């Protein structure tokens, strides 16, 4: 038991060092590419309330490692959002709760569209109170992906044959949800931000946008 505790402690320390190295690398990478980087940007996360892992509302929410710039010809923003998980920590007075880290990425779209969210079908969607989803009538796609939208016509135009084929054939699709909000396309994950994750998510968002028919935005 003592050996297991020591090993867990060592692994925790190694993970902490890895995360901190990643944060340091973010500033260096941003500087090299001409991107802006703010370690702590007070209030910057507030405007993204209601998107993905962000709370439905809030005031003066801090964005950590807030980075803006241009990637593959598109403007982007990414940041970490941190909050204390009420289910973590101890009931003892003075003991802090464990922080949960959420990394959020958004890339500008060529036009504006109504609410659309795409993610993997969840086993507990009904238990979690999620309402009816939009079915596209393509069994293979409907089996794997959940589509939520306020405009079915836009969703069908956005997820045309080419885009569906791309999402079904790319392993990133089931791991990275998508959300359209006005003229921005978002994705996110639970975890700290790193240079590798930044590059991978921005590339994924751009790969999706490259395949969206131009008429989709014009008709929205």
pLDDT digits (tens, 9 = 90+) for 134-154: 999 999 999 999 999 999 999
Identify the pLDDT of residue 85.
Answer: 75
Contact criterion met (CB below 8 Å) for 54 and 36: no
Q: Number of folded domains in the chain?
A: 1
Judge contact between 157 and 165, C-beta under 8 A.
Answer: no
Which residue reads 């504006």 in tokens?
A: 112
Is residue 33 classed as helix, strand or coil in its secondary structure?
Answer: helix
Q: How confident is the model at residue 219 (pLDDT cuts 50, 70, 90)?
A: confident
Q: Specify the pLDDT at position 95.
A: 53
Structural domain span for residue 158: 2-89+97-219
Per-residue pLDDT for 23 more than 50? yes
Q: What is the mean pLDDT of residues 175-202?
A: 96
Query: When comparing pLDDT for 121 and 96, which is higher?
Result: 121
Q: How many CB atoms within 10 Å of residue 151?
A: 17
For position 86, what pLDDT does the model report?
Answer: 67
Name the average pLDDT for the chain: 87
Of 163, 182, 186, which is closest to residue 114 (Cα–Cα)? 182
Instruction: Report residue 206's pLDDT band, with 50, 70 and 90 as the boundaries.
Output: very high
> pLDDT per residue over 25-64, tens digit each?
999 999 999 999 999 999 999 999 999 999 999 999 999 9
Residue 72: its pLDDT value, please? 97
Counting residues of the chain whose pLDDT is more than 70, the rounded percentage is 81
The pLDDT, as a whole number, for residue 15 is 65
């Amino acid at each position: 038991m003592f050996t297991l505790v020591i090993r867990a402690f060592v692994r925790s320390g190694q993970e902490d060092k890895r995360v901190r190295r990643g944060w340091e690398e973010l500033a260096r990478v941003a500087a090299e590419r001409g991107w802006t980087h703010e370690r702590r940007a007070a209030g910057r996360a507030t405007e993204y309330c209601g998107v993905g892992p962000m709370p439905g509302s809030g005031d003066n929410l801090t964005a950590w490692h807030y980075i803006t710039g241009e990637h593959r010809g598109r403007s982007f923003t990414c940041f970490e959002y941190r909050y204390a998980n009420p289910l973590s920590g101890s009931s003892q007075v003075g003991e802090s709760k464990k922080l949960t880290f959420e990394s959020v990425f958004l890339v500008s779209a060529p036009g504006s569209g109504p609410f659309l969210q795409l993610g993997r079908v969840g086993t507990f969607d009904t238990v979690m109170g999620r309402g009816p989803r939009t079915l596209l009538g393509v069994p293979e796609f409907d089996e794997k992906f959940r589509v939520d939208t306020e405009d079915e016509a836009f969703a069908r135009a956005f997820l045309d044959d080419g885009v569906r084929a791309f999402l079904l054939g790319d392993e990133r699709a089931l791991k990275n949800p998508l959300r359209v909000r006005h003229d921005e396309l978002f994705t996110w994950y639970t975890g700290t931000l790193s240079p590798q994750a930044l590059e991978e998510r921005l590339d994924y968002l751009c790969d999706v946008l490259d395949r969206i028919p131009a008429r989709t935005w014009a008709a929205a």
